[in-house]
Structure formats: structure tokens, C-alpha cells
Amino acid sequence: MSLEVLGAQAVRKLRPGKLVIASHNIGKVREIRALLGPYGVEPVSAAELDLPEPEETGTTFVANAELKARAAADLSGLPALADDSGLCVEALGGDPGILSARWGGPEKDFDEAMRLVERAIAATGPDASRDAHFVCALALAWPDGHVEWFEGRVDGTLVNPPRGQRGFGYDPMFVLNGMTETFGEIDPDHKHAVSHRALAFEQLVAAAF
């Protein structure tokens, strides 16, 4: 199983109380709530607070996570946690990468996004690599402007057709190295232990609680 953990060491602790999850993605909010559950914080989503989604103008996962976290903390007056994550495909030079959600169009249709990935891989030739990795960057921001970040990565391969109804996004086409089931097939508790988001959270928890 290939896992990589990257990130910055936090210097500020999170206190019990409300924490804004700076996302309107229902699947992502659900996973983050589950990961935060044991740590005494009260997650509230940006959608619940009617906060707008800022334009993601960063050129890296970390930059986009940071701008979302800063915006939510500034508007809400609460600490905010933002996630920016995506699928990077070797044969596509790392695409869709930070544009992973946009490949699904305005409706964020990930069935269509997975079809586009498959068509793009096929267009590179019959011997195209199916290696890929997921990246998750977490940014934790406070209303006073203090920000910390954490990043995790997992490596695997892509399958076609996609398999499984669990998870969200590109999960049904991704098999972590060392496993046989896709992220769309495995039990959510198992995914929470081995995913790119879980690895980034390990760093956050070790540093901020």
C-alpha cells in the first residue's frame, strides 16, 4: 500500500466549539464530519451558514484550500477548515488535478467526469499508464488570519468501468495500491483509515488537538 504524508507543523490548537467546514460538497462534508467526530468540535458547513463559494484561483491544492478557509473564517468569525482535493492521472500529465470537480461541469456530474477521464486516457494510446493518485490539502484558518495546512497523498490505479456506490467523486474508479476494491466499494470506515483525506487529517489531529 503506497501512502505519502506531507504538511506543515501546526503551532495553534483548536478549542472545543464550532468549526466551519468550508465546503458545499455534501459527500466531502459528510466525510469531514465523521473524521472530526471524536474531537469535541461542532462542525457546521458553509452551506448551513449560507456562505458563498469563493472562486478557486489557486494553482495548487494547498493554495485553493487556503483561500476557501480564509474566506469562511473571515465571513463567519469562526475557525474554518477547507479541503481541496483531486485525482491526478499519470497518463494525463497530472490532470484533472486541481480541476477535478470542474471536469464534472456546472452540475459536478462525476459520472461524466469519469467518462471524460477514460476518454482522455484512451486518446493517449493503447499502452497508456493507468497509474493515478489522490491528493488532499487541508487548510485551517482563524478569523485573525492565522492559517496552517496539511497534505496527504495515496497512490493507486484506475479501473473501468467504475465500481461501487459508496464514497463520492472519482472513488468508484480508484483502487489503492495493495487493495482490490475501489474507494467506491470499501466500507466508509475503512476509507476513513486509508484515504488521502484520512492521512491529511492524521497530521491535523496530531497538531491541533
Active site residues: 84
Residue 102 carries which side chain, given as an amino acid letter?
R
Distance CA 89, CA 16 (A): 39
Q: Is 109 helix (H, G, I), strand (E, B) or coil?
A: coil
DSSP-derived 3-state class of residue 54: coil
Quickly list DSSP for 156-194: EEE-SS---SSS-TTGGGEEETT-SS-TTTS-HHHHHHH
Q: Which residues contact 38 (CB under 8 A, 6 or more apart)?
A: none
Radius of gyration for the chain, computed over Cα atoms and rounded to the nearest angstrom: 17
> CA neighbours within 13 Å on the CB side: how many for 139?
24
Angle subtended at Cα 151 by Cα 34 and Cα 70, rounded to the nearest 5 degrees: 80
Cβ-Cβ contacts under 8 Å for 42 (sequence gap 6 or more):
16, 17, 18, 19
Instruction: Measure Cα distances from 14 to 147, 148, 166, 208 in Å.
Output: 12, 11, 30, 5
